[in-house]
Amino acid sequence: MYPSFANPTQFAPTEDFDSYPRDLERDVRLLVEERADLLFNPTAEDMYPRGYQTYVDVEQVSRPLCGAHRPGHFRGVATVVLKLFNIVRPHVAMFGLKDYQQVQVIRRMMEDVNLDVEIVGCPTVREPDGLAMSSRNRYLEPAEREAALCLQSALGKAEALVRGGETAAQRIREAVVAEISRQPLVRLEYADLCDPKALHAVEEVKGPTLLALCAWVGKARLIDNRILAGERA
Amino acid sequence: MYPSFANPTQFAPTEDFDSYPRDLERDVRLLVEERADLLFNPTAEDMYPRGYQTYVDVEQVSRPLCGAHRPGHFRGVATVVLKLFNIVRPHVAMFGLKDYQQVQVIRRMMEDVNLDVEIVGCPTVREPDGLAMSSRNRYLEPAEREAALCLQSALGKAEALVRGGETAAQRIREAVVAEISRQPLVRLEYADLCDPKALHAVEEVKGPTLLALCAWVGKARLIDNRILAGERA
């Protein structure tokens, strides 16, 4: 989601809205290359004028993972996406699956409030070495950029374990934590195995299971995830 | 609002959703007489299926008056009206002004979430003796029915005071409380003078001001209100 859509008051104090990396000129150039017809780029004041007071809570799917560490964040996401859809009235909207929980919050809201917009989750785009692309990657110093690859390798280790028959979430999680803790520049925020739709934690990998990671690398808070496709019990 | 639209879990424990007076056959007959083309009458399960978890809060206007006494009530109202509008996609929706706060909550939500539905507030329909019509009036025993008229007379006393030049909300409120406390069968829940749009309490009647009343009469919780049209300062 383009960050200027979010309510600045909903941002956690650890990440300043005004310092979020933005480059409108570059965004416009890329959109023109892709032959976009329209760009909707409202100001915070357009979206949240004086007296604004309505917020949407998508309760359960907003709670775990990033929701547990960024109170109010998904409330802001749900609210602004509802507003965006009411203004633009799209038939289809695309969201990147790197922000997996965001996609699930939006899907659940669409279903609950009876809004008929097709939500398309787009596969994460990666750098050649596997690091998930993110505006925040530009915060990384060269040594941090190198260390950040442990997210990708931890996801790979987890997938290898599941392919090898491991089903205990706890053991898969331990392998992920071990892989990431080899990097002193990386501080893990969470590594959780969850139901891929409801996002509640699971104990066992019995079918498709989300492994979601979040780690701080220097000033950058990075997230990544993979669906571990365990055999159905 | 037709009560079957509301989430039963949002009802205050003092009023049971299942015992709310409803008479679908009579409603249908009245709608046929008015040549309605369609009736939308979903079940609670249609509106809130298993896994439902999205709620809309309209923060400030939901807080005072009935919102202070029925926690979660306007959250249920806002949520179900958003759903209703997304399902029905009306150009115009009519709501009775007896439920004045409800109308303001819905208007504010429409503006905040950029929904383009014209909200028409309809004047309160009254019995010949002035009692505001309500499904709940059928709970009243004859002596209670008589006593309930004090809401109407209290509104009249307040209006007479304002016409006579009184501007102090505290003195107007005292006259309302005195009028209602003459009736031992009536227990006042609130009597507040408010800004007619934002619904915050006012100290002085300087322009149009909402006087909103709520009182229990036997098993019935009755509300009524009037706009006191003070001279603008």
- Kindly give the parts of chain A with pLDDT less than 70: 1-19, 231-233
List of residues 6+ apart from B134 with CB closer than 8 A: B98, B220, B222, B223
Note the pLDDT tens digit of each residue in A111-143.
Answer: 999 999 999 999 999 999 999 999 999 999 999
Overall average pLDDT of the B2-31 stretch: 64
CA dihedral B24, B26, B30, B32 (to 10 degrees): 70
CB-CB neighbors (< 8 A) of B86 in chain A: 113-116
The confidence score (pLDDT) of residue B130 equals: 95
The confidence score (pLDDT) of residue B17 equals: 60
Task: Tell me the two tokens of residue A224.
Answer: 């990544």
Please indicate whether, in this complex, the C-beta atoms of B56 and A52 are within 8 angstroms of each other: no
Please indicate whether, in this complex, the C-beta atoms of A53 and B112 are within 8 angstroms of each other: yes
Hey, is the C-beta of A88 within 8 angstroms of any chain B C-beta? Answer: no
Note the pLDDT tens digit of each residue in B138-184.
Answer: 999 999 999 999 999 999 999 999 999 999 999 999 999 999 999 99
Among the listed residues B161, B154, B121, B159, the one whose alpha carbon sits nearest the alpha carbon of residue B222: B154
Q: Which of A112, A116, A200 to mutate to probe the B interface, most B CBs <10 Å?
A: A112
Please indicate whether, in this complex, the C-beta atoms of B113 and A54 are within 8 angstroms of each other: yes
Identity of the residue numbered A212: A
Note the pLDDT tens digit of each residue in B146-158.
Answer: 999 999 999 999 9
In chain B, DSSP finds a helix count (H) and a strand count (E) of 9, 6
Task: Tell me the two tokens of residue A92.
Answer: 């289809």
Nearest residue on chain B to A80, alpha-carbon basis = B113
pLDDT over 50 at B222, yes or no: yes
d(CA B98, CA B116): 23
Please indicate whether, in this complex, the C-beta atoms of B59 and A55 are within 8 angstroms of each other: yes
User: Measuring CA to CA, how many Å separate A127 from each of A3, A134, A142, A148?
Assistant: 22, 10, 14, 12
Task: Tell me the two tokens of residue A57.
Answer: 């809570």
Q: Which CATH class is domain A3-122?
A: alpha beta
CA dihedral B217, B221, B222, B228 (to 10 degrees): 110
Note the pLDDT tens digit of each residue in B57-91.
Answer: 999 999 999 999 999 999 999 999 999 999 999 99
Q: Could you tell me how many residues make up chain A?
A: 233
CB-CB neighbors (< 8 A) of B113 in chain A: 54, 56, 79, 82-83, 86
Q: Are A210 and A225 in contact (CB under 8 A)?
A: yes
Nearest residue on chain A to B80, alpha-carbon basis = A113
**What is the band of B129 on the pLDDT scale with cuts at 50, 70, 90?**
very high
Please indicate whether, in this complex, the C-beta atoms of A54 and B52 are within 8 angstroms of each other: no
The confidence score (pLDDT) of residue A184 equals: 97
The confidence score (pLDDT) of residue B232 equals: 59
Nearest residue on chain A to B78, alpha-carbon basis = A54
How many Å lie between the alpha carbon of B37 and the closest alpha carbon of chain A?
Answer: 22
The confidence score (pLDDT) of residue A228 equals: 97
Among the listed residues B131, B157, B128, the one whose alpha carbon sits nearest the alpha carbon of residue B146: B131
Hey, is the C-beta of B55 within 8 angstroms of any chain A C-beta? Answer: yes
Those of residues 189-228 in B touching chain A at CB distance below 8 A are 198
pLDDT over 70 at B114, yes or no: yes
* Complex prediction ipTM: 0.90
- The domain limits of chain B are 3-122, 135-229
The confidence score (pLDDT) of residue B1 equals: 35
How many Å lie between the alpha carbon of B48 and the closest alpha carbon of chain A?
Answer: 8
Instruction: Write down the architecture of domain A135-229 according to CATH.
Output: 2-Layer Sandwich (3.30)
Neighbouring C-beta atoms of residue B216, cutoff 10 Å: 15
d(CA A88, CA B18): 39
Same CATH fold assignment for domains A3-122 and A135-229: no
Give the β-pairing of A208-217 and B208-217.
unpaired
Please, what is the angle between helix A73-88 and helix A100-112, to 10°? 60
In chain A, DSSP finds a helix count (H) and a strand count (E) of 9, 6
Q: What is the DSSP letter of A163?
A: H
Q: Share the mean pLDDT of chain B.
A: 92
Nearest residue on chain A to B60, alpha-carbon basis = A53
Q: Are A155 and A226 in contact (CB under 8 A)?
A: yes
d(CA B204, CA A214): 54
Task: Tell me the two tokens of residue B118.
Answer: 């014209």
Hey, is the C-beta of B50 within 8 angstroms of any chain A C-beta? Answer: no
The confidence score (pLDDT) of residue A4 equals: 38
Residue with tokens 């009254």: B126
Strands (E), A3-80: 54-58
Please, which residues bridge with residue B204 across strands?
A: B168
Among the listed residues A190, A189, A180, the one whose alpha carbon sits nearest the alpha carbon of residue A216: A189
